[in-house]
Structure 1
Amino acid sequence: MGSAKNSGPARQDRAALLEAHWAAENKAARKRKILAGTGAVAAVALVGSLVTVAVINDPPPPARQDIEIAGLETFENLNAEHVSTPVDYEQEPPVGGDHASTWLNCGVYTEEVPQENAVHALEHGAVWAAYDPSALTEDEVTALQEILPDTHAVVSPSEGLDSPIALSAWGAQVTVETPDDERIADFVAKYWQSPQAPEPGAACTGGLDGPGRVA
């Protein structure tokens, strides 16, 4: 798909924005801990004033736990063992569980990917956008590709889904009808390289290229 090749800069920009998003959140959390430990009322009042001004001019991003997503399903106590046999997953697409020892390389695919390898990518903090190719136009598929960041994300077709698009991360999933649904961006902000994954930030390259990888 030639359009997938042109989506790289936009997806790289989203990855950079997400990195900045969580860097800002972590910095704010560290600042709160420092202020809590000083016990200096005057210093707290001064910083509070500065923070108020900063919030008015540049509101901080919401914390992951504060992002609410309508229709979100979460799953707990998922196995994470490496296996060499096919796995019968309870969810479609799967959101975690036993998986292949080699992870799927993140990127854009034009063919269905092996689920056991894709789940290993989820273990590393990837977000997986699976779509029913019979339910989306080519332009909608391109739009979906451009929403996802350039790293730690998989976009692939999956015939027979219950919804046109299914967004999955380790232990979480939401389904949407179109790529312009704002819940897609919210899901990425909440779960991309989420600490809820067993190995967030681990490699999403250097593994297995599934069939039809184009970017």
Structure 2
Amino acid sequence: MKQQRTERRAVKIAALKKKQASEKRNRVIGIVTGSVAAVGVLALVVTMVVTNGTPKVSPDAIEITGLQNYADVIAGHVEGAVDYAQSPPAGGEHAAAWLNCGVYTEPVPNENAVHSQEHGAVWVTYDPAQVSGDDLETLQSSMPATYSVLSPQPGLQSPVVISAWANQVELDGVNDPRLQDFVDKFWQAGDSPEAGASCSGGLDGPGRIA
């Protein structure tokens, strides 16, 4: 009998130790999990504070080297071809139908693209003899998702030219940081007479792929 009691007691002690070990393990897991969650929340809070705490640069404060601004650009609908002062144009009289914004593999009609500029779109043209392959893919990926037109224009005075209504910059290439500066300053803003008007539902030029 004494031996049986001893055995039962040993079994109870072993079960108690096992229970205590399990509870200790669960407490450790809980502490670790809670710590990881706390660190994650803290990181999220810090990210939000840093992001929201950084004031957005005003477009008026963005300075772009080589920016050409053309004063007194006239808007208005006309029929037929227009003799523009710049090539590619940076605003002026234009066709009644705007060009649907997007990526084109062929030159687009100036008169329709200028109408898109009037609606706040930026127009990026490139010389296909200087920009192709990976460079062209880089340029395409740099374009805003909306309110932008990308099209080739053989014989450009520089590899890439970015234009908006009454403003234009000749870029050194597809990685020129002034491209993004120009977008930040003039995309759906700047001097556009009708910024925010539609950039779809108009005319598709030749070679539209996106």
TM-score by length of 2: 0.75
- Deviation at residue 94 of structure 1 after TM alignment: 0.2
RMSD: 1.3
- The 8 Å contact of residues 165 and 190 in structure 2, kept in 1 or not, is answered as no
- Deviation at residue 159 of structure 1 after TM alignment: 0.6
3-state SS in 1 of match to 2:141: helix
| 1:82 to 2:77 alignment | yes
Instruction: Tell me the distance in 2 between the aligned counterparts of 1:182 and 1:56.
Output: 22
| 1:107 to 2:102 alignment | yes
Instruction: Tell me the distance in 2 between the aligned counterparts of 1:56 and 1:164.
Output: 35
Please list the CA deviations of residues 18-65 of structure 1 after superposition, one character each: whole Å capped at 9, or x if unmatched.
xxxxxxxxxxxxxxxxxxxxxxxxxxxxxxxxxxxx679731121010
Which residue of 144, 152, 155 corresponds with 1:157?
152
Which residue of 54, 60, 65 corresponds with 2:55?
60
Instruction: Tell me the distance in 2 between the aligned counterparts of 1:58 and 1:146.
Output: 28
Please list the CA deviations of residues 151-206 of structure 1 after superposition, one character each: whole Å capped at 9, or x if unmatched.
00000000110000000000100011211111000000000001520000100000
Percent identical: 52
**Pairing of 1:2-21 with structure 2 (within 5 A):** none
- CA pair 56-138 structure 1, distance change in 2 beyond 3 A: closer
**What letter is aligned with 2:81?**
P
3-state SS in 2 of match to 1:116: helix
Instruction: Tell me the distance in 2 between the aligned counterparts of 1:190 and 1:56.
Output: 20
- The 8 Å contact of residues 59 and 184 in structure 2, kept in 1 or not, is answered as yes
3-state SS in 2 of match to 1:155: strand
What is the aligned residue count?
Answer: 162
**What letter is aligned with 1:93?**
P
Instruction: Tell me the distance in 1 between the aligned counterparts of 2:146 and 2:208.
Output: 14
Deviating above 6 A after TM superposition, structure 1's stretches of 4 or more consecutive aligned residues are none
- CA pair 136-56 structure 1, distance change in 2 beyond 3 A: closer
**Which segments of 5 or more consecutive residues in structure 2 lack a partner in the other structure?**
1-48
Which residue of 191, 195, 198 corresponds with 1:200?
195
| 1:144 to 2:139 alignment | yes
- The 8 Å contact of residues 67 and 169 in structure 2, kept in 1 or not, is answered as yes
Counterpart of 2:36 in structure 1 is none
- CA pair 56-146 structure 1, distance change in 2 beyond 3 A: closer
- CA pair 62-100 structure 1, distance change in 2 beyond 3 A: same
Tell which has more relative contact order, 1 or 2 (C-alpha 8 A, sep 6+).
1
3-state SS in 2 of match to 1:129: strand
Counterpart of 2:111 in structure 1 is 116
Task: Tell which structure's C-alpha radius of gyration is larger.
Answer: 2
Counterpart of 1:8 in structure 2 is none
Which residue of 169, 183, 191 corresponds with 2:186?
191
- Deviation at residue 76 of structure 1 after TM alignment: 1.2
- Deviation at residue 137 of structure 1 after TM alignment: 2.5
| 1:175 to 2:165 alignment | no
Instruction: Tell me the distance in 1 between the aligned counterparts of 2:51 and 2:103.
Output: 38
